[in-house]
């Protein structure tokens, strides 16, 4: 028996030592990867900055090498940060080693406003006199909108440019819920507050169709005008091409002057070598955009104790800490409070890219933004979306800057509760019985319908939240409450329309908002800090190895269908009082 315990304890000790050593090795690997990711990149002379944009573009990507790590494939799911793209393009403009840009883009995984900001940065790059060339086997509409700024746009001889107009499509779940026996119980304010339509209708309401057509047309006109100015093609001709499907082959693209040449990749390389004076036997010197993120700054600012805090709010709004993809009221409020209390932070740029979410969480964040705006300039920079709850948290700002193609407004509130009682009874034979001390103790039960009395109380709750919402907007924007109610009602607006009705002040992107913040704070020299602070490599790795792993595996299985699963899951989880976009808006 003594021998048994002796060997048992020895085995346990051996396992513990092995685990400890494995942990030390893992920490060493983490440290090595983290340190190597911070090393600056040396850019050779006569280089071309190569831009692919084949990853999702978010406002701020996680710098952590383990962010998005997929334990199933042992590969990270990386994204591109708009903040770094803009910084890199501005740096390349002044970098004597960079002679020009080559873009090879077939699609852009970003929203309309993000695409607009990148395009504007490319136009500023061109002011340096350096070249921009574009090449692709096929151009999507967003890709072509970016490529149109180029000195020359090249296409594969068998390629095409997709130029058909914009669309937004919505998936409706009503018939599926009817078959399952699930009853959506809906309370809302505003004829345009159509976030709940997918659960109560099988097609768009006339009001929803009207608002969707309005902002789609606004975005389309912005794209048409931009391409018209860059390519010297009339807006009428561009619309005619789209309506008649005239340019769905390469030769038609060339004949209609959308492109400048039909060439193969090897011919493009020869063209660039000639442009840079490189012999046929030598290779082009190319630096990829992601690598150039780590290039040293060409124009260095003097060190300053004065700071501008750029605070990122991206994703749906909910309670709690939040994450890289979602806004948590606690985590974001803490970041705003930190910037407000820091005397060295002279101004705040609040970057909002959100379709909204929980009304209560939005109120918590609104309070911190309101307090901050009372003591220092707070400039809101709207991204692709800053709607409903996203507008709620923007309203107290000193000024609001948005892209013409930003989707904003949606000032409205709704309540959504699902009743699964019939589904359990009829489909599974499960009954739910209840004992209660008072008549309405099970008011928010998921197993019965609301009574008329309860629905009336729920409507009062929605109306109270809506009044708070329009009151905050009225105070922040200095617009009469009656006017806010008139332009509210849950209606969605483009940036162009929002500026006309004074929901935003100026057009511009993140860089413009930072410049405006510096002006408001009377700063000539300053440095930027970004909040909320991102997780350490160890924290990120642990997170990705646990809960995030399940989501990654499901994403791999469902592919493009994951977004529909995520939409339904989000709405199921976000029951209660909501201030969010009418649906997940995607512009194609």
| Catalytic residue set | 193, 388
> Contact, 191 vs 490, CB < 8 A?
yes
Residue 497: strand, helix, or coil: helix
Phi and psi at residue 465, to the nearest 5°: -65, -40
Contacts of 41 (CB under 8 A, 6+ apart): 287, 291, 292, 294, 295
Where is 312: in which H helix or E strand? strand 307-314
Q: Among 299, 212, 434, which Cα is nearest to 443's?
A: 434
Residue reference for tokens 């599926």: 176
Phi and psi at residue 220, to the nearest 5°: -60, -45
Give the whole-angstrom CA distance, residue 219 versus residue 225.
10
> Contact, 321 vs 330, CB < 8 A?
yes
Residue reference for tokens 């789609």: 216
Q: Where are the alpha helices (DSSP H) in 389-503?
A: 389-392, 421-423, 452-477, 481-487, 495-500
> Contact, 122 vs 142, CB < 8 A?
no
Residue 550: strand, helix, or coil: helix
Phi and psi at residue 320, to the nearest 5°: 95, -160
Task: Kindly report each contact of residues 164-167 with a partner whose C-beta sits within 8 Å and lies 24 or more positions away, as own/partner.
Answer: 164/242, 164/245, 165/220, 165/242, 165/243, 166/141, 166/216, 166/219, 166/220, 166/223, 166/587, 166/588, 167/216, 167/587, 167/588
């Amino acid at each position: 028996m003594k021998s048994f315990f002796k060997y048992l304890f020895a085995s346990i000790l051996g396992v513990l030592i092995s685990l400890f050593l494995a942990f030390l090795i893992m920490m060493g690997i983490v440290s090595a990867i983290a340190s190597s990711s911070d090393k600056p990149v040396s850019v050779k002379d006569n280089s071309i900055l190569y831009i692919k944009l084949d990853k999702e573009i978010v406002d701020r990507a996680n710098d952590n090498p383990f962010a998005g790590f997929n334990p199933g494939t042992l590969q990270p799911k990386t994204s591109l940060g708009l903040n770094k793209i803009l910084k890199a393009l501005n740096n390349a403009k002044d970098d004597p080693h960079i002679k020009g840009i080559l873009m090879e883009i077939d699609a852009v995984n970003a929203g309309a406003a993000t695409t607009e900001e990148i395009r504007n940065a490319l136009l500023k790059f061109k002011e340096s006199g350096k070249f921009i060339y574009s090449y692709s086997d096929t151009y999507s509409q967003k890709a072509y909108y970016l490529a149109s700024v180029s000195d020359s746009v090249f296409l594969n001889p068998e390629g095409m440019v997709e130029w058909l107009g914009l669309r937004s499509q919505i998936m409706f779940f009503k018939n599926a819920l009817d078959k399952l026996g699930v009853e959506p119980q809906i309370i809302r304010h505003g004829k345009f507050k159509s976030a709940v339509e997918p659960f109560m209708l099988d097609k768009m309401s006339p009001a929803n169709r009207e608002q969707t057509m309005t902002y789609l047309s606004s975005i389309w006109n912005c794209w048409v005008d931009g391409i018209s100015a860059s390519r010297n093609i009339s807006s009428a001709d561009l619309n005619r091409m789209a309506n008649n499907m005239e340019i769905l082959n390469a030769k038609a693209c060339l004949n209609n002057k959308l492109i400048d040449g039909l060439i193969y990749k090897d011919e493009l390389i020869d063209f660039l070598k000639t442009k840079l004076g490189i012999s046929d036997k030598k290779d082009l010197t190319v630096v990829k955009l992601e690598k150039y993120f780590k290039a040293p700054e060409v124009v260095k600012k003097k060190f300053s104790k004065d700071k501008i805090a750029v605070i990122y709010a991206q994703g749906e709004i909910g309670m709690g800490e939040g994450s890289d993809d979602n806004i948590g009221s606690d985590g974001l409020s803490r970041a705003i409070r930190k910037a407000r209390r820091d005397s060295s932070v002279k101004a705040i740029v609040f970057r909002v890219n959100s379709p909204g979410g929980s009304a209560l969480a939005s109120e918590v964040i609104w309070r911190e933004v309101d307090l901050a705006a009372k003591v220092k300039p707070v400039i809101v920079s709207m991204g692709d979306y800053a709607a409903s709850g996203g507008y709620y948290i923007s309203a107290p700002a000193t000024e609001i800057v948005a892209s013409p193609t930003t989707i904003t407004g949606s000032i409205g509130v709704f309540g959504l509760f699902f009743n699964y009682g019939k589904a359990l009874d009829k489909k599974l034979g499960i009954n739910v019985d209840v004992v209660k001390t008072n008549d309405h103790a099970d008011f928010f039960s998921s197993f019965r319908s609301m009574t008329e009395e309860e629905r009336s109380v729920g409507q009062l709750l929605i109306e109270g939240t809506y009044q708070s919402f329009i009151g905050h907007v009225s105070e922040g924007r200095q617009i009469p409450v009656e006017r806010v109610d008139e332009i509210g009602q849950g209606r969605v607006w483009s940036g162009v329309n929002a500026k006309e009705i004074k929901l935003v002040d100026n057009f511009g992107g993140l860089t413009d908002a930072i410049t405006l913040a510096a002006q408001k704070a009377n700063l000539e020299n300053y440095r930027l800090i970004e909040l909320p602070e991102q997780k350490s490599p160890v924290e990120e790795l642990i997170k990705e190895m646990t809960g995030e792993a399940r989501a990654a595996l499901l994403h791999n299985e469902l592919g493009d269908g994951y977004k529909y699963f995520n939409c339904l899951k989000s709405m199921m989880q976000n029951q209660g009082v909501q201030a969010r976009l009418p649906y997940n808006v995607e512009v194609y």
